[in-house]
Structure 1
Amino acid sequence: MTLAVISVIAGLALLVWSADRFVEGAAMTARHFGMPALLIGMVVVGFGTSAPELVVSALAALQGNPGIALGNAYGSNIANIGVILGLTALLSPVTVRSGVLRSELPLLLAVTALSGWLLRDGSLTTAEGVLMLLVFALLLGWSIWRGRSGGDALGDEMGEELASHPLPLRQALFWLVAGLLLLVGSSRLLVWGAVEIASGLGVSDLVIGLTIIAIGTSLPELASAIIAARKGEHDLALGNVIGSNLFNTLGVVGLAAAIAPIAAGPEVLSRDFFVMGGMTLALFLMGFGLRRPGRINRLEGGGLLLAYGAYLTVLLRSAF
């Protein structure tokens, strides 16, 4: 058990560091090849920060631990909204100026509903996993098409962020490749330790995925969101969360199910998906805005944090 705990701590630390290097390398490489800043913000950074979830869940599915894969994705989505946006809004109320993000909020809500419908029978088959990946590919293509036009608040913030951290192309490519390799290595270490801890404590791998791994793999988004909020780059902070949750819901779960069918107990729908769906709906209501820009104020941010705390309490009580 001691070795497993050390593996989880070391794996998480290396995972967070390598994910940051990978995203920075990918973003700077894209910039060197002339990709618009808006597109980098929507695709490279928004989806790139979910690289830890993708690698961890794929490895867990390959090793016969689908509960970790599903728990990692759903738990990360809940943590992204409850902890990351909640804490970010407490530090600085988040105002949504980007029209691109306003159009992606209903998409995230629809994608969440789709995932719940596919999971209604308590399982995700390989065919359903492939379907989720196809839907994700369509959304990715749509994002690329929209991102080529530019002229959006998210693109302006992303351009300022890229300009403040220039990297030569050779160095950017190095961190792109090295970050990806380290992601894979640290993920293997993390999954092994998590499985050993679950066995030692007698809890399901789903609970481990929803807690330790989900929170750990969400740390890159947390760091990015806090830094963006302190700089006043609210759309970038929100864009990271929306992009990550879209990626987790379709890409991460879809890939894991395509590798190996996922069986989910009734508690996944009644507890975990219910909380994820509720938080996604709350994010839509706060962030979309009807006649004015959407806004997540400090009171709402505190409410998101309290909701996450209540969910975590219920989860841990059910596990032990």
Structure 2
Amino acid sequence: MVLSLVLLLVGFVALIVGADKMVEGASALAMKYGIPPIVIGLTIVAFGTSAPELVVNVFASINKSSEMVLGNVLGSNIFNVLGILGICGIIYPLSVKSNTTWIEIPLSFLAAVAVLVITQDLWLDGSVANYISRGDGIILLLFFSIFMVYNITVSLSPQEADESDALVLPLGKSLLWIALGLGGLVLGGKLIVDNAVSIAEGFGLSERIIGLTIVSIGTSLPELATSVAAVRKRKLDIAIGNVVGSNIFNIFFVLGVSAVVSPFEINESSLVDILLNVLAGLLLFVFVFTGKGRRLDRWEGIVFLLLYAVYMVYLLV
């Protein structure tokens, strides 16, 4: 058990460092060939912060650990909104850009609703079980492609121009960072899945609980670090945009890829997690439209954190 905990920690370190190095190398490579900075931010960097969830889910799908596949995505999205935005909102009220208010936040909420719909085969079709099929995965990926087209369209508009933090690196070093980053992602993902399953068995917990807590929070650390750093620099739109974009990535891309790799059955107990994910998306939408201006206030951040604390108690007790 102690060895499994140590290897799980090593896996998280390898995963997060790997994602960071891959993003650094890919961003430098993109800059070298003249790709606009905002496109780098909306594609490479956004993919990099969701890469931990993706790699863990692909390994979980291959291992047929279906409860961890859905638990990691739902747990990450719930933590992103209730945990990360709760923390950031308490540090400083978060203002929201027009595009984020009217397009990205509603799209994130609709993504949560889409998960609810595609997982209710018993109720909608009278099937013998709820499951996410390969066809459902393809549909999610099609929605993801639409989201990426929207991102690129927005990035090309002059008013959205922004500066990039990408480093200027030699070609060889860029390729080395990409290779090492991918290696770290693969190693970390494998260690996390194998040892999370071992820990779940050792403590008598389900893979769903491990996926919703330890694994999802661990894979969401890049989003937490990015958003808190953005708030401290008063780049408030980045803080909330990073979380919303990551949630859309997680459902449309990560869950879509997972279902294509291996369709899986949905445990009935996951309905609570699915509904809380919808509620979190709805609350974010409502909170942004209440109070003064388009922003998330401190008291709303406190509500998010309290709700997340209640959810954690429910899962563990």
Q: 1:284 to 1:24 in 2, by over 3 A?
A: farther
Please point out which of 227, 252, 255 is paired with 1:253: 255
After TM superposition, list the pairs within 5 Å mapping 1:211-290 onto structure 2. 211-269=213-271, 271-287=272-288, 289=289
| Cα contact 1:46–1:239 (8 A) shared by 2 | no
- Give the drift of 1:290: 8.6
Per-residue deviation at 1:173? 3.4
**One-letter amino acid matched to 1:245:** N
Q: 70-79 vs 133-142, which deviates more? A: 133-142
Pick closer, same or farther for the CA change 1:20–1:205 going to 2, 3 Å.
same
Q: Which residue of 1 aligns with 2:103?
A: 103
- Partner residue of 2:4? 4
Q: Is the 2:144–2:249 contact (alpha carbons within 8 Å) kept by the matching residues of 1?
A: yes
Matching residue of 1:138: 146
Shift of 1:293: 4.6
Against the structure 1 CA distance between its residues 292 and 99, is the aligned structure 2 distance closer, same or farther, given a 3 Å change threshold? farther
3-state SS, counterpart of residue 269 of structure 2: helix
**Structure 2: which 5+ residue stretches go unaligned?**
122-129
Q: CA deviation at 1:292?
A: 7.3
Q: Deviation above 6 Å: which 4+ runs of structure 1?
A: none
- Write the mapping of 1:85-104 to structure 2, written as runs, cut at 5 A: 85-100=85-100, 102-104=102-104
Q: Residues 1-320 of structure 1: matches in 2 within 5 Å?
A: 1-100=1-100, 102-121=102-121, 122-152=130-160, 155-156=161-162, 159=163, 162=165, 166-170=167-171, 171-269=173-271, 271-287=272-288, 289=289, 293-317=293-317
CA distance in 2, matches of 1:292, 1:28: 40
Contact 2:84–2:224 (8 Å) recurs in 1? yes
Structure 1 residue identity aligned to 2:167: P
Q: What is the deviation of 1:46?
A: 2.4
Change (3 A) 1:100 1:87: closer
Is the CA contact 2:104–2:244 (under 8 Å) kept in the aligned structure 1? yes
2:276 counterpart letter in structure 1: V
Distance across 2 between alignment mates of 1:295 and 1:230? 16
> Aligned residue for 2:124?
none
Q: Is the Cα–Cα contact under 8 Å of residues 4 and 197 in structure 1 kept in the other structure?
A: yes
Deviation at 1:169, TM superposition (A): 4.2
Letter of the structure 2 residue corresponding to residue 223 of structure 1: A
Q: Distance in 2 between matches of 1:150 and 1:85?
A: 28
Whether the aligned pair in 2 keeps the contact of 1:46 and 1:241 (CA below 8 Å) is no
Could you tell me the TM-score, scaled by structure 1's length?
A: 0.90
Q: Report the alpha carbon displacement of residue 172 of structure 1 after superposing the two structures with TM.
A: 3.4
- Which amino acid in structure 1 is aligned with residue 248 of structure 2? L
- Give yes or no for contact 2:82–2:280 (8 Å, CA) kept in 1: yes
Residue type of the alignment partner of 1:182: G
* Structure 1 contact 26–44 (Cα < 8 Å) conserved: yes
Cα displacement (A) at 1:113: 1.2
Equivalent-residue separation in structure 1 for 2:285 and 2:29 (angstroms)? 32
Q: Note the residue ranges of structure 1 that are not aligned, 5 or more in a row.
A: none
In the alignment, is the contact (CA less than 8 A) between 2:100 and 2:241 conserved in 1?
no
Deviation at 1:257, TM superposition (A): 1.2
CA distance in 2, matches of 1:28, 1:150: 22
TM-score, L = length of structure 2: 0.91
Q: State the one-letter code of the partner of 2:149.
A: G
In structure 2, the CA distance between the partners of 1:169 and 1:100, relative to structure 1 (3 Å rule), is farther
CA distance in 2, matches of 1:233, 1:180: 29
Q: SS of the counterpart of 1:151?
A: helix
Q: Distance in 2 between matches of 1:273 and 1:284?
A: 17
Amino acid in structure 2 at the alignment position of 1:282: L
How far off its partner does 1:98 sit? 4.9
Q: Deviations over 1:117-159 (max 9, x none)?
A: 001122111211122112212222222222222412xx43xx1
- CA distance in structure 1 between the partners assigned to 2:50 and 2:254 by the alignment: 8
Shift of 1:101: 5.7
Question: Taking every aligned residue pair, what percent have the same amino acid on both sides?
Answer: 37
